[in-house]
């Protein structure tokens, strides 16, 4: 089990720049989730995919955020025109589908810092 | 607004003490999951509770799901320094026809050796 991997681990960028993060889920997992976590808070749901279909997107997510999972394997999360408030840890998780809700397996996250 | 609430947010205990932390939801949950996040790490799944009144044990950790499926508790017996971390409860809540996992703010545990 290679686990969920995310790249990069850290990203520092200037306000207004675009950034893209990548997530490779556990290979047999067909569900993939993106979360944002800030200090002292729990992970906040952003969006999720079942295979290549994006099934849910948080209403809190501005249109500067977009996610893709083109072949149903890895996923990318892009933030355009970054703002100070985008500084956070971006976590990816994956799970199987099955009866009931399945445990989610998290990656180590990408920490984004906006200068 | 916050749909899954955890109390307390912080807990400092002496090694060897027992303690309980609580999780409350404003809505009925189909199930509840607990995760642990060590300092600098990522959330790691601990357990899932599905049935009303369900109790599950993992060594010194006891998890309980309330009868109304709106609250849960985690009890740790004889706390050890390895228990340090933030414990999150998370419930699946229906939003717009699909369910998403909503996390509480977490309970940060520190242990005095």
CA distance B76 to chain A (A): 21
User: In whole angstroms, how far apart are CA A78 and each of A19, A21, A38, A85?
Assistant: 6, 6, 18, 15
d(CA A66, CA A47): 9
Indicate yes or no: CB of A44 within 8 angstroms of CB of B101: no
Could A33 and B92 be called an inter-chain contact, meaning their C-beta atoms sit closer than 8 Å? no
How would residue B68 be classed by pLDDT, with cut points 50, 70 and 90?
very high
Average pLDDT over residues B84-105: 86
With an 8 Å Cβ cutoff, are A101 and B101 in contact?
yes
In contact, B73 and B65? CB cutoff 8 Å: no
Asked if A108's CB is within 8 angstroms of B33's CB, the reply is no
Q: B70 to chain A nearest CA, in Å?
A: 17
Tens digits of residue pLDDT in A11-58 = 999 999 999 999 999 999 999 999 999 999 999 999 999 999 998 888
Measured distance CA(B27)–CA(B96) in Å, rounded? 15
Per residue in B49-63, pLDDT tens?
Answer: 999 999 999 999 999
CA atoms within 13 A on the CB side of B12: 2
Say what percent of chain B tops pLDDT 90: 82
Q: According to the model, what pLDDT value does residue B1 have?
A: 55
Which one of B35, B40, B43, B56 would you mutate to disrupt binding with A, by most A Cβ within 10 Å of its Cβ? B43
Mean predicted lDDT score pLDDT of chain B: 93
Subunit contact B106:A48, Cβ cutoff 8 A: no
What residues of chain A lie within 8 A of the CB of B97, using their CB?
none
């Amino acid at each position: 089990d290679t686990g969920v991997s995310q790249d990069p681990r850290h990203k520092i960028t200037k306000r207004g720049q675009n950034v893209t993060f990548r997530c490779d889920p556990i290979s047999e997992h067909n569900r993939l989730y993106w979360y944002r976590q800030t200090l002292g808070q729990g992970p906040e749901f952003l969006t999720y995919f079942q295979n290549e279909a994006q099934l849910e997107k948080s209403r809190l997510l501005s249109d500067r955020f977009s996610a893709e999972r083109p072949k149903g394997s890895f996923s990318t999360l892009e933030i355009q025109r970054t703002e100070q408030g985008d500084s956070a840890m971006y976590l990816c998780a994956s799970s199987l589908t099955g009866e009931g809700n399945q445990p989610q397996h998290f990656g180590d996250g990408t920490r984004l810092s906006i200068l | 607004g916050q749909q899954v609430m955890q109390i307390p947010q912080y807990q400092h205990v002496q090694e060897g003490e027992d303690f309980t932390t609580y999780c409350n939801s404003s809505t009925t949950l189909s199930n509840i999951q607990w995760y642990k996040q060590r300092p600098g790490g990522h959330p790691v799944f601990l357990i899932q509770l599905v049935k009303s009144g369900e109790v599950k044990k993992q060594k010194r950790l006891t998890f309980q799901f309330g009868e109304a499926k709106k609250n849960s508790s985690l009890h740790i017996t004889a706390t050890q320094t390895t228990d340090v971390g933030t414990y999150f409860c998370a419930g699946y809540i229906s939003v717009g026809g699909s369910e998403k996992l909503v996390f509480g703010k977490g309970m940060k545990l520190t242990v005095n050796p």
